[in-house]
Amino acid sequence: MQIRKAEFRCSSERIGQVPKDNLPDIAFIGRSNVGKSSLINMLTGRAGLAKVSGTPGKTRLINHFLIDGAWYLVDLPGYGYARTSKAVRSEFSKLITDYVLRCEKMHFLFVLIGLRLEPQRIDLQFIKMLGTNGIPFGIVFTKADKLSRAQADRNAERFRSALAEEWEELPPMLVTSSEKGTGRDELLDFIGRCLSNS
């Protein structure tokens, strides 16, 4: 699949503000500073579409980007950033859980995982919540360029093993680098398959 046109549509503070049309949402979420905005810009081929910030926890709203007039790419707030206030953070904020569990437009959710780190408890908890609630999701490992190929494979395997302790069937997993464009075609093809099943 190719993306020809990507445009910002709206930001929502609560689930009632998301677009009311029937176009499906393909959403991206992850811990703060996992490289979500960079990945969205890499996928769409538009450098400044999603605002990239050096400050973790910058995305506080649900951002909808209209893709080729046919579907939305959705940038969700990052979760678990320690320097936001407890009230704002509350582990997975109400905005995130409302959208993920209650938004009927959401067709598929990608959970972004930084490949450089050990499996993080907060990521595993979030993934467990998705499984418990039957949410369709896949995992996208980010920042693969920061590691050697062998290290990247090893860290991805470590995460698979952590999941396999609780999951009989593992979700689909893709490895990406926004810096190098790694995994772009695979991820777009996967999204294309998701949308053709809608």
* Predicted pLDDT of residue 59: 56
> Would you say 76 and 62 are in contact if contact means Cβ atoms under 8 Å apart?
yes
> Would you say 172 and 138 are in contact if contact means Cβ atoms under 8 Å apart?
yes
**Average confidence (pLDDT) over 107-124:** 93
> Would you say 140 and 186 are in contact if contact means Cβ atoms under 8 Å apart?
no
Give, as one character, the DSSP assignment of residue 16: G
Give yes or no for residue 88 having a pLDDT over 50.
Answer: no
Give yes or no for residue 52 having a pLDDT over 90.
Answer: no
> Would you say 163 and 170 are in contact if contact means Cβ atoms under 8 Å apart?
yes
Question: CA separation (Å) from 55 to 34, 91, 120?
Answer: 11, 18, 20
> Would you say 139 and 110 are in contact if contact means Cβ atoms under 8 Å apart?
yes
Q: What are the pLDDT digits (tens) for 142-157?
A: 999 999 999 999 999 9
Paired strand residues for 108: 26
Separation of alpha carbons 40 and 195, rounded Å: 17
Give 81's pLDDT tier (boundaries 50, 70, 90): low
Give the pTM. 0.91
**Average confidence (pLDDT) over 46-59:** 68
Give 54's pLDDT tier (boundaries 50, 70, 90): low
Q: What are the pLDDT digits (tens) for 90-112?
A: 545 788 999 999 999 999 999 99
Give yes or no for residue 4 having a pLDDT over 80.
Answer: yes
Specify the CATH number of the domain 6-196: 3.40.50.300
Q: What are the pLDDT digits (tens) for 12-41?
A: 988 999 999 999 999 999 988 899 999 999
* Predicted pLDDT of residue 9: 95
130-136, long-range: CB within 8 Å, 24+ apart, which pairs?
130/100, 131/166, 131/167, 133/100, 133/101, 135/100, 135/101, 135/106, 135/109, 136/107, 136/108, 136/109
When the pLDDT of each residue in the chain is averaged and rounded to a whole number, the result is 89
